[in-house]
Amino acid sequence: MAVDSPSTTDAGQRLPETVIEELLAEPYRRTVLQSLRAADGEITVRQLATRVVARERSVRPEAVPARKRERAQERLYEHHLPKLTATDVIQYNSRNASVELGEAADQLLDRV
């Protein structure tokens, strides 16, 4: 997974306001953060993709078609997870393809 963020942060550092604004400018990322907050812990990227699509379509997760979930997973891996992990908003575990909120997540969650 490529990392292409304008700024990274060490644990405990505040993200620059411009980085926060950039991360939250994309509605999809706001939905990702809302879905992770609701998960209350580590979930797989597949589960996250399902939850994001379910929120967007206002359906139950089990009603999400496989093709929509697969597209959402691709979108997460290619565009959103790199930016969110580079800034420590999300932590990604490559061993089991799981994600959870990172150290910097609190700086964004009150805005979504």
The answer as to whether 11 is a domain residue is no
Residues 8-61 pLDDT 10s = 445 568 999 999 999 999 999 999 999 999 998 999 999 999 999 999 999 999
Please tell me the predicted confidence (pLDDT) of residue 7.
Answer: 42
CATH number of the domain enclosing 33: 1.10.10
The answer as to whether 81 is a domain residue is yes
Which residue segment(s) compose the domain that 49 sits in? Answer: 17-109
- How many domains does the chain fold into? 1
User: Residue 6: pLDDT above 80?
Assistant: no
Tell me if 61 sits within 8 A of 70, measured CB to CB. no
Tell me if 33 sits within 8 A of 89, measured CB to CB. yes
The answer as to whether 6 is a domain residue is no
pTM of the model: 0.86
How many other C-beta atoms are found inside a 10 Å radius of the C-beta of residue 44? Answer: 14
